[in-house]
Structure 1
Amino acid sequence: MNTPPSFDTLQTPSILVDRSRLEANIRSMQSVCDAHGVELRPHIKTHKMVEVARRQLEAGARGLTCAKLGEAEAMLPSGMRGMFVAHSLVDPRQAPRIRALAEQLDDLRLAVTSEAHAEVFLRLAALTGRKLSVMMAIDSGLGREGVRDPAAAPRIAALLARSPHVELRGFYTHEGNLYAAAPAEQASRIEEMLGRLCAVRDSIDRTLAIWPGCSVTARLIARMGAGRIQAVRPGAYVFGDLALSRTTGIMPSDTVALHVLATVVDKPEPGLALIDAGSKTFSSDRTPDGISALAIDGRDLAVVRVNEEHGYVRGKDVDTLQIGERIVFMPAHVCTVVNLTDEVVVMERGQVVDTWRVDARGRIR
């Protein structure tokens, strides 16, 4: 076994994961779900790591959610027995991979996202040679995939029921639009959403499951939806970021488990410093006020612009920085940061204890 490097020898940019915070976040979400009789089926699109998936499953997660078949395939070594692929699959070339996944899992569920999608998906399902379990997507305001008109849901259900290749097992939604809702509005917006979801489900079959999925709402939905929903599917909660800690206030900053270590490489003019982490580290995602990352040490230092290899740092304290100084930042959006790196550096009490491979990095197919 290789000895982990010391913190001082880490080259930058490096992605740092605080193991204690990560495990506390996993336990905390699982505890809320357990207390209200709701299954946790976390989305691995955030962490993409077998090491993290194992910890989620060991804590009590009943299954995992992913975006693409490649993510599901990469998570097989975690020991998962149930997987939901929450994406509109249509390519007949994917049939052998779907069949192989179904043969290795106890419960594989796939998505049906609209009437138009259902017709194409049924042709794909027939090619797998297996009867597939499906979840129907309901749009709850994000305006992405999902049934917009509640009257269409029974028509889709009837179409699926006529096919020998699929079985409708439930409904799902991604209520990501609630990231923009004020905290005082969250409960009423969630109650309205749950009412719509239950109405759609009840118009078809009251015994079918409902699985919402979003880190900003998961805890509140588990509490409010007890007895009405069967699972939640949050992803970013394991690490957190500025979206969860600063924009929505869902996570205290001292629970955020993933940060970016970067080095000041230039100070080309007063009021500006350049770091060696740009869009290939932070991605182009920003907070609503245009911030890519913030320093976590209390100084007023914000990454306000990114090129591919540079971050532009401004703030009241920027002129105190020295070239060669290393700064730890909290990124705006954690999911894209993880997908841009091959591995993360695992920390415990300020010491490097391990490195973990990002197993599903780039698994976009």
Structure 2
Amino acid sequence: MTNAQTVHDLATPSVLIDHTRLSKNIHAMQAACDATGIELRPHIKTHKLVPVAKMQLAAGAKGLTCAKLGEAEAMLPSGVRSIFVAHSLVDPRQARRIAELSEQLDDLRVAVTSEAHADALNALAQATGKTLSVMMALDTGLGREGTRSRDAAHRLAGKIARSSSLELRGFYTHEGHFYTTPAADRPQKVRELVEQLCTTRDSIDAGLVVWPGCSVTAEAILAIGAGRVQAVRPGAYVFGDLALSTVSKVMSAESIALQVLVTVVDKPEPGLALIDAGSKTFSSDRTLDTIFAQAADGRDLSVVRVNEEHGYVRGAAVDALKIGERVLFTPAHVCTVVNLTDQIAVHAGDGAISATWRVDARGRTQ
């Protein structure tokens, strides 16, 4: 890929970023935040790229959200000064890394997700020799981490208050279950989400911040959250995917900035084509109707099954495909696609390769 001058020079499968669309997505979300006075603290687990983090920060993002310490460490060259690590850290072997990370930032926050987790996190904080700023997770329907009731949140807040090594700085949630919420129900559900978050916060300390995080809900929260919500933390909005465009319908197909270029390698029977990209490219993530990827040019071509190195393509346009033909596909879930590749070709929509970006936080799951 390093010697490629145009998209046509690339070996396949290759992951491509349309820089023009990427820039538009970044600036549109930032403008929506700026219009409401709500901060943008995007989650980098989608892009894992220092150049994209730099673009987000230059546009006005107040900090970054990361999934793991490794991602946070990988983003330091972006110049970021504030990072929230939204994961349940417990391993005392992480103490040195946390201490070193905090010394390189103005503001480091970590998650506290339950009373049991608070005990483990308190021991970890003591091992760092520092007081850790924590954001309390509230479960708003995903059923993953976070307190399940207001009473549980109060108990956890009390435990944090009794700790000399933890300081409660705010509340967060990941409302990922909204991906499957019908569009017609979403406005009311978002209002209920904001009410739940802010009521719980106000009952503990109205001066603390609330930071929800999901690309599906971000703009809806911005529309009603001014003065109540202090930041949003979307991630996938920078690139988009089928989950955002065809499932939740909060992005248009024309704004999707990342696609996968593949080659048709066989047509073993009518109605079926095989491509050179399988689960090692698209991952095993798929839409609810079991689509791993769809043709980005609008043709009825869908990847409906994957092996490690093969994708099975079906659809009305499949019989017109030729062996050796190259096709751009939009993945069902962009975050896992980025994490499966070492480098990404960047273009401006005209086919000319302007840069090759190594995925800085690829595999940084520790």
Scaled by the length of structure 1, the TM-score of the pair is: 0.98
1: CA distance between counterparts of 2:3 and 2:287? Answer: 37
* Aligned: 1:341 with 2:341: yes
- Root-mean-square deviation (CA, aligned residues, Å) is 0.9
* Aligned: 1:318 with 2:318: yes
CA change 1:262–1:4 in 2 (3 A) is closer
Counterpart of 2:59 in structure 1 is 59
Deviation, structure 1 residue 211? 0.2
Counterpart of 1:113 in structure 2 is 113
Cα deviation, 1:217-266, whole Å, max 9, x if unaligned, reads 00110121111010000000000000101111100100000000000001
Answer yes or no: is the 8 Å Cα contact 1:279–1:309 preserved in 2: yes
Cα deviation, 1:67-101, whole Å, max 9, x if unaligned, reads 00000000000000000000000000000000000
Deviation, structure 1 residue 3? 6.0
Cα deviation, 1:34-79, whole Å, max 9, x if unaligned, reads 0000000000000000000000000000000000000000000000
Aligned pairs for 1:55-134 within 5 A: 55-134=55-134
Counterpart of 1:364 in structure 2 is 365
1: CA distance between counterparts of 2:318 and 2:163? Answer: 63
Answer yes or no: is the 8 Å Cα contact 1:50–1:77 preserved in 2: yes
CA change 1:3–1:281 in 2 (3 A) is closer
Name the amino acid aligned to 1:207.
G
Answer yes or no: is the 8 Å Cα contact 1:4–1:355 preserved in 2: no
1: CA distance between counterparts of 2:193 and 2:327? Answer: 41
Give structure 1 regions of 4+ aligned residues with deviation exceeding 6 angstroms: none
Name the amino acid aligned to 1:135.
M
Counterpart of 1:208 in structure 2 is 208
1: CA distance between counterparts of 2:189 and 2:306? Answer: 35
SS at match of 1:287: coil
2: CA distance between counterparts of 1:225 and 1:345? Answer: 37
1: CA distance between counterparts of 2:298 and 2:232? Answer: 34
Answer yes or no: is the 8 Å Cα contact 1:4–1:353 preserved in 2: no
> What is the number of equivalent residue pairs in this alignment?
364
Answer yes or no: is the 8 Å Cα contact 1:4–1:354 preserved in 2: no
Counterpart of 1:353 in structure 2 is 354
Answer yes or no: is the 8 Å Cα contact 2:133–2:168 preserved in 1: yes
Answer yes or no: is the 8 Å Cα contact 2:6–2:351 preserved in 1: no
Deviation, structure 1 residue 298? 2.3
- Consecutive unaligned residues of structure 1, counting only runs of 5 or more, are none
Cα deviation, 1:281-312, whole Å, max 9, x if unaligned, reads 00000011110001122221110000000000
Counterpart of 2:282 in structure 1 is 282
Structure 1 vs Structure 2: percent identity of aligned residues? 66
Name the amino acid aligned to 1:250.
V
Counterpart of 1:168 in structure 2 is 168
Counterpart of 1:191 in structure 2 is 191
- Consecutive unaligned residues of structure 2, counting only runs of 5 or more, are none
Scaled by the length of structure 2, the TM-score of the pair is: 0.98
2: CA distance between counterparts of 1:350 and 1:317? Answer: 24
Name the amino acid aligned to 2:357.
W
1: CA distance between counterparts of 2:196 and 2:302? Answer: 40
Name the amino acid aligned to 1:65.
T
